[in-house]
Structure 1
């Protein structure tokens, strides 16, 4: 299960949560670099270039934290411009971590779920103010009265008063993921909320599962199908999928690793499929860059897929909060002002994304390991990539 200590470690919020670990990245400006990156085209990914400079900064971070593998890249506009990767796919295997390998995003899935739901809002199938009672009228009487008026937007901004996690292990494997989410909602929304809905931030994977179920309810399609049709396919995220990357029992993709001190045990597992809207997407770094570029461009007033107003909503926290629709929104000097960020971990992977619209820059990094070493490594990798981004890359 997702661990609260791992996921919000270092996040600049008053309450700890679950499934996200956004660090408050260095306060001072980035250091100087004396030489620009050497870039090599990636076979099969002509738009992506391997940067020896990125490899050079990732390698000591990986070694220092004893990680199996570490990958990172720089996005300008809507393309992954340079990338580096070091390490192996699985402890005990000689297979190297590759640029085109799949990575598990954990709670970085949340911004994707919120964006997919934004397409339903644009079409009038859902509204940000739609309530649980309105979307599920047949079940409303079985729910606690305080939960009936909870809105879609409160679920997406963690202000619905729901707990971080539910009894995922009690869900039946022979049920569809939609039915599992329906059972979860019926069970979790019968008791009184932890806080009065709409008043306080309380990070909740359950809330995103319910938001995903609302999308399923109004469309008659599974969340997984909606993500493929409304996000992955339009963005060209060809490797977008759900659960642990790769074929069970094979090392055709990186495995996740559970941290045990400074050692890591390979695990090809994930959280319960019902958790999907909160954190089960996997994809390549190039795929993830396409999503980052979507929000980067939208923040610059160049929207695709969704209306500008919808992106503005997704990127604007409610008053008194820093958390919007799957994004923590903060101010950072190196970003030139406002930045969007999130991190995610299923305790076997860790991934971090920063979007800096004023810099026309997004930074992505991930490791096939969980725990504190992975969180620290991703933060250090982001800082190193910010430093490298000060050097204008070759953009022929």
Structure 2
């Protein structure tokens, strides 16, 4: 795999001077075909510049509608780093601190929280050390409750926090243990909303999407209702067949889960976000200071997950919205995260030491796309980290 890509990159370097970036399609299409994916997209930012990008395959399995580099892809839990960045903005503005507790921020709205739950801090929520468990049947019933449609997203988030936190203590008594928790990020999102006095959704647009110029960025299912204007997610059936899940409630997780993972955007805009992170916050816009960004990226807890599902960090350490993992093709741990709503997949790898960012997306979930993504990441990192 290594030698053909080296040849590809070298053969295209001269042509790329006229086009501004190298096309990755020749690399991506054999990998997409090998793993039987509807589509596959990737982009590389080096020293703040988009140097390579590509998108191959179709928006909907069984059709001939090709994907493009401007198509919107679902990012899943890669949204968590954006939520953590919003929290950092609130800390810089003095509206929250890393040690602000759920009770201090939300106690007036949720007076019945159990004391140990109310004592969980913002930093513990963002680092998955809060003791709030990974999604289970009881939490799932809160996410998918029909009652949610009778409330605003802000109010339903508060309801879910109250429903859990008034009945359950953290599953371990103090921070220091990693336990991946979407409900923890929903809770952090509610704390951000309270501090900013604005919905999390508006903050995403006003404080991240618009300053970075992410024109394709949005929230929820990526295709416009009734149109195939983006790569739609695909469900893998028990017999291995795939079913397009284009629109409506089945096309994404409930909207109240936004802070945990409902962003979407093109591979190029995803790369812009990743490139901003790779630059250490020293290139504009000034979302947060470089010093604060270092806090977000500092290891907070070690993590070892057996048989990880696609969309969750695998091993290494977890910071605030970021995993830190050492691959067999990196010298040391780099910032990374996967995201999946079960129908789509997105992965990000950032190496600030080399000012390098790589993003990969697909419109299907599962083990095959996880393997394909790692194959793409390895080839691109080895080519561009120099």
Q: Tell me if TM exceeds 0.5.
A: yes
Q: 1:48–1:267: structure 2 CA closer, same or farther, 3 Å change rule?
A: farther
> 2:21 maps to what in 1?
49
Distance across 1 between alignment mates of 2:11 and 2:192: 44
Deviation at 1:376, TM superposition (A): 1.5
> 1:285 maps to what in 2?
267
Matched, 1:255 2:232: yes
Q: 1:379–1:332: structure 2 CA closer, same or farther, 3 Å change rule?
A: closer
Distance across 2 between alignment mates of 1:370 and 1:187: 30
> TM-score normalised to the size of structure 2?
0.86
Pick one of 370, 376, 383 that aligns with 2:371: 376
Deviation at 1:126, TM superposition (A): 1.0
> 1:221 maps to what in 2?
198
Distance across 1 between alignment mates of 2:19 and 2:7: 26
Pick one of 16, 21, 35 that aligns with 1:65: 35
Distance across 2 between alignment mates of 1:244 and 1:124: 34
Deviations 1:153-194 (A, max 9, x none): 000000111122222011422321111101110011121222
Indicate if the aligned counterparts of 1:30 and 1:383 stay in contact, CA closer than 8 A.
Answer: no
What pairs with 1:20-59 in structure 2 (closer than 5 Å)? 33-35=6-8, 36=10, 38=12, 49-51=21-23, 54-59=24-29
Indicate if the aligned counterparts of 1:336 and 1:359 stay in contact, CA closer than 8 A.
Answer: no
Deviation at 1:249, TM superposition (A): 2.1
Distance across 2 between alignment mates of 1:359 and 1:30: 20
Distance across 2 between alignment mates of 1:284 and 1:37: 26
Distance across 2 between alignment mates of 1:234 and 1:303: 6
> 2:299 maps to what in 1?
317
Deviations 1:242-276 (A, max 9, x none): 00112112111111111235432100210011110
> 2:72 maps to what in 1?
102
Q: Which structure features the higher share of helix residues?
A: 2
> 2:85 maps to what in 1?
115
Q: Secondary structure at the match of 2:280?
A: helix
Distance across 1 between alignment mates of 2:48 and 2:206: 20
Deviation at 1:320, TM superposition (A): 4.3
Deviation at 1:211, TM superposition (A): 0.2
Deviations 1:310-331 (A, max 9, x none): 1111001225451011111134
Pick one of 198, 202, 209 that aligns with 2:175: 198
Q: 1:320–1:264: structure 2 CA closer, same or farther, 3 Å change rule?
A: closer
Deviation at 1:78, TM superposition (A): 2.4
* Aligned length in residues: 358
Q: Once superposed, what is the RMSD of the aligned Cα atoms?
A: 2.4
> 1:153 maps to what in 2?
123
Deviation at 1:383, TM superposition (A): 1.8
Distance across 2 between alignment mates of 1:81 and 1:176: 42
Deviation at 1:80, TM superposition (A): 2.3
Distance across 2 between alignment mates of 1:328 and 1:30: 26
